[in-house]
Amino acid sequence: MITRSHTAQRMSKITIHNETVYLCGQVGGAEGDVADQTRECLRRVEGLLAEAGSSPAHILQAVIWLADMSDFTAMNAVWDDWVPAGAAPARACGEAALARPELKVEIIITAAVA
């Protein structure tokens, strides 16, 4: 069975299949530096995970896109404080042009239902 939440024409913010939660890419607000945007992005991720019956401790994989890899260290400082100890997921990080030029980070999450 597949469950979708916050579904629009192009995407669902949450899709759940076989006790696995898939979140669409989350971005922070368009203001602030990469640390500010990462914090906001992770707040959104946490809210969607909670709605889906999961949590940061149940993240299986994260794919992080940065508009500029020079922001890698600043983004990681926020990420490292957010990820629960001992629960670091499989992760990839790369550089990509994001949907709007003011965006600095986008995070895509796959997690297990808690």
Mean pLDDT computed over every residue of the chain:
97
Q: Read off the pTM.
A: 0.95
Max Cα-Cα span within the chain:
41
Segment 2-20 mean pLDDT: 97
CATH of the domain at 37: 3.30.1330.40
Give residues with Cβ within 8 angstroms of 101, minimum separation 6.
67
Range of the domain at 63: 2-112
Q: How many domains does the chain have?
A: 1
pLDDT at 30: 86
pLDDT tens digit string along 12-63?
999 999 999 999 999 998 889 999 999 999 999 999 999 999 999 999 999 9
